[in-house]
Amino acid sequence: MEAKTVMCSYLSRKMSKVRWKPDNDVPCSKFLTGSWGESSQRLPNVEDIQGNAVQLWKYIPNMDPIPLYTMEHAGDVTELKFIDTKSFLVSSSQGTLQLGQIVHDKDETFFNIKSLNSWSNIHAYKNGTPSSLTSFARSKNGVVTVGDDGRLVVISLDNPTPLCSIEDPFNSAIKCVSFIDHKSVITGNALGSLKVWDLSSGQPKPVFSLPSTLKLVSINFIQQKPSQQHLLFVGSDDGSITVWDMRNTDSPIILNTAHNEYYQHHPFPRI
């Protein structure tokens, strides 16, 4: 790989997610960031949007990123994913999923983020307290979200209300979700268990659990290998990455303890 200079810029928010805006003409020049843990207490006389936010930035090599637009966001940003070159989904620690779209004028001087749809409080505890929407996965037909409340919610992007929401009552907080094929998803929970769900009937049904060997170790991400979709990469709190072959789920094929602290995201390079 060609050695490039590393640019370091200091921004005024704590960031939890950063995603390049996919562009038809490479390389990417804009990116989105999502923040966490920002105080909701407002500072006097500061015009800028305060608290947690989703921000759009322009990247010019060897320069500080230029802020293009800032959108207020209730709660920490727990996940941020582009679904095409303009639209993205952002989830919140207050149980909300939002579909946003980046719009701009002809000359690309003024940018805006339009909220196309928002599914509020789809993850909440029994007493009504919002729960963190920890992760979501998208297929052609819709989106599946999971949360600390142990719920699995199925959403269609053009429908303002969730299609269905089921609770896994005998289980712990769900931390991540990924599609395996167009009709089934796999979830990972805070105790280290991996469960496969069937979505073909519209209502998610648990099919089976993988014999994960993790004990009380939260799973943080599940990612399909783009070129070999039967391979799942599972990262957990203890820094290990486990690779599962979904054609044979008796035991994982690789167990890699590459990190000594918790592993959060494993992006595959775009090819």
Partner 1 sequence: MAFSSKTKSKKNLTLLHPITRTLVSESTNIFLSVQEINQLNSFELRQEVLNSSKKYRCIIRECIQRLESTSNRNDDYVSSLCDVFYTTELCWHLCEILYLEPVPGDVILPLLKRWIQFHFVNYESIAVKIMKYQDSEEAVSNVDTESLVPDYWSTIFGLLCQGNSQLACKLVELHSKANTSAFIKAIKFLKYIPEFDNLDAQSVIEFEHSWQTWRSKVKSDVEAGTFSPDKNLETAMKIIIGDMSVDKVLRKHSASWYQYLIAKLLYTQPSIKSSQLEHYVTDAMKLYRVSENPELLSILLKSLLEKDLLTSTKGFLNMTDNCWCATHLTNLLQIGQYIPVNSSTNERLDKKLIIGYGKFLIESEVFWEIGVLYLRSCKQEGFQVLKTVLPEIQLDNDYVAKKVLRIAHENNLFSVVQSVCSKRSEKYIELGRYVDALAWAIKGKNHDLAASLADIFLNNYVETHEMPLLEVVDHLGTKALFVDRLMFLVKFVQYCNKKNKKEFTDGLSLLIDLLVNNMVPTYFKLTYFMEISTLLSSSLTEANKTDLVQILHSIEDYSNEFEAIPMNEDDKNTKQKYDEFLKKINPLRKQVITLLALASLP
Residues that bind partner 1 (CB under 8 A): 10-12, 14, 16, 36-39, 41, 43-48, 50, 76, 78, 93, 125-127, 129, 131-132, 148-150, 169-173, 175, 190-193, 209, 212, 214-216, 218, 237, 261-262
CB of 249 to partner 1, least distance (A): 15
> Closest CB to partner 1 among 163 and 191?
191
CB of 210 to partner 1, least distance (A): 12
> Closest CB to partner 1 among 75 and 224?
75
CB of 21 to partner 1, least distance (A): 23
Distances (CA, A) of 34 to 28, 31, 56, 171: 18, 10, 9, 29
Q: Is there a contact between 133 and 97 (Cβ–Cβ < 8 Å)?
A: yes
> Closest CB to partner 1 among 98 and 148?
148
CB of 83 to partner 1, least distance (A): 23
> Closest CB to partner 1 among 170 and 228?
170
Distances (CA, A) of 230 to 10, 216, 224: 40, 26, 7
- Using alpha carbons, select from 14, 38, 22 the residue that is nearest to residue 102: 22
Question: What residue type is 20 in one-letter code?
Answer: W
- The four Cα atoms 99, 102, 105, 106 give a dihedral, to 10 degrees, of -120
> Closest CB to partner 1 among 215 and 247?
215
CB of 9 to partner 1, least distance (A): 8
CB of 215 to partner 1, least distance (A): 3
> Closest CB to partner 1 among 26 and 46?
46
